[in-house]
């Protein structure tokens, strides 16, 4: 691991100033991904700015939204009674991620900032445009079983590894950030990026910008929800495919729907066209299958992940059936 300096910030402004001034400084909270990246030589920050003392751990439900501080722990949010009652999709998705020990360390902001688990990204002997722009992509033409089927580019086919973010994009969350130029809000769907020609950029944060909170508008998705995660082993594995499904039903008729997938793209992948195809339909397997077919338009597989072209639509149908079987 390269030498680095370490400072502890006691206010958001101090943290932002400390990161903005350095060329290669990073915020650190739980460190569950960043420390691995540093040990492997994938990231080599010259300065770490510890933000754990900042007052960003609150979880507050108001009349129209849920506010979650960026430093709230994944385990705390998943177990929060308000979250479990009003936003159960988020709780389920959080509990599908990592292990209990990791959830006890990882924060909401850190979960959003975690980087792809593409094995070539972590192997500094291999080419990787995300780690070293212009070096090539080891996964295209390599072992790409875990990789994207939507939104990839000829520079990078990696997927975002989060479960929590799949639920947040489905629930129309907003990201609150503050930085050298002040505060702003970013719709969750616009927070992470597709790789395009700049796969080294995972998200749309500017230099020195700090995530302070995530807010989710109140919604009717308290009952007919399901987070399905398909993975190689039952615990502590990243998704081959995951589906966040939420339905608002009037009897057996779908009034509104939310669908998003993980493990399929460089960002959490919202299935807006599939959602639209469900509205006004009855909640039947046949209609779920039609929505899954709509969702798979423009999917493209690589040498080792063509199984996802079947696994993904089957997972959408299964998640919707589970959501309606409660």
Q: By the criterion CB under 6 A, which residues form the site for ligand SF4?
A: 116, 118, 120-121, 128-130, 137-139, 156-158, 199
Q: Which is nearer to ligand SF4, 137 or 278 (CB)?
A: 137
Backbone angles phi, psi at 244, to 5 degrees: -100, 120
Q: Which is nearer to ligand SF4, 21 or 39 (CB)?
A: 39
- As measured in angstroms, the least distance from the Cβ of 143 to ligand SF4 is 10
- As measured in angstroms, the least distance from the Cβ of 37 to ligand SF4 is 12
For helices 285-295 and 308-323, the axis angle rounded to 10 degrees is 140
Q: Which is nearer to ligand SF4, 45 or 138 (CB)?
A: 138
The whole-angstrom separation of Cα 70 and Cα 174 is: 12
Alpha helix stretches (DSSP H) within the chain: 12-21, 34-39, 74-79, 81-86, 88-96, 100-105, 108-113, 119-122, 164-170, 272-278, 285-295, 308-323
Q: Which is nearer to ligand SF4, 304 or 322 (CB)?
A: 304
Q: Alpha-carbon dihedral of residues 232, 238, 241, 244, nearest 10 degrees? A: 130
The whole-angstrom separation of Cα 141 and Cα 304 is: 9
Single out the residue of 101, 84, 102 nearest to residue 93, CA to CA: 84
- As measured in angstroms, the least distance from the Cβ of 47 to ligand SF4 is 25
Q: Which is nearer to ligand SF4, 121 or 191 (CB)?
A: 121
Single out the residue of 212, 169, 211 nearest to residue 187, CA to CA: 169
């Amino acid at each position: 691991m390269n030498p680095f300096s370490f400072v502890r910030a006691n206010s958001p402004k101090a943290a932002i100033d400390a990161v903005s001034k350095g060329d290669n400084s990073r915020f650190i909270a739980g460190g569950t991904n960043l420390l691995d990246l540093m040990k492997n030589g994938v990231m080599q920050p010259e300065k770490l700015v510890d933000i754990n003392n900042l007052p960003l751990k609150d979880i507050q439900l108001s009349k129209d939204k849920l506010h979650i501080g960026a430093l709230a722990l994944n385990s705390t949010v998943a177990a929060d009674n308000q979250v479990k009652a009003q936003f159960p999709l988020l709780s389920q998705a959080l509990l599908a991620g990592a292990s209990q020990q990791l959830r006890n360390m990882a924060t909401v902001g850190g979960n959003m900032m975690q980087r792809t688990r593409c094995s070539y990204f972590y192997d500094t002997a291999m080419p990787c445009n995300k780690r070293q722009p212009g070096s090539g992509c080891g996964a295209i033409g390599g072992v790409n079983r875990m990789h994207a089927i939507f939104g990839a580019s000829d520079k990078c086919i990696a997927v975002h590894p989060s479960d929590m973010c799949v639920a947040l994009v489905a629930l129309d969350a907003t990201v609150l950030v503050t930085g050298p130029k002040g505060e702003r809000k970013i719709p969750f769907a616009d927070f992470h990026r597709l790789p395009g020609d700049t796969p080294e950029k995972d998200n749309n944060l500017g230099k020195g910008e700090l995530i302070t909170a995530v807010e989710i508008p109140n919604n009717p998705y308290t009952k007919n929800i399901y987070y399905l995660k398909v993975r190689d082993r039952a615990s502590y594995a990243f998704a081959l495919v995951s589906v966040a499904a939420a339905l608002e039903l009037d009897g057996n008729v779908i009034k509104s729907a939310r669908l998003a997938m993980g493990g399929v793209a460089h960002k959490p992948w919202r299935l807006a066209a599939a959602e639209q195809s469900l509205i006004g339909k009855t909640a039947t397997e046949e209609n779920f299958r039609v929505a899954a077919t709509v969702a798979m338009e423009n999917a493209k597989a690589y040498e080792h992940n063509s199984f996802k072209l079947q696994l993904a639509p089957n997972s959408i149908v299964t998640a919707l059936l589970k959501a309606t079987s409660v």
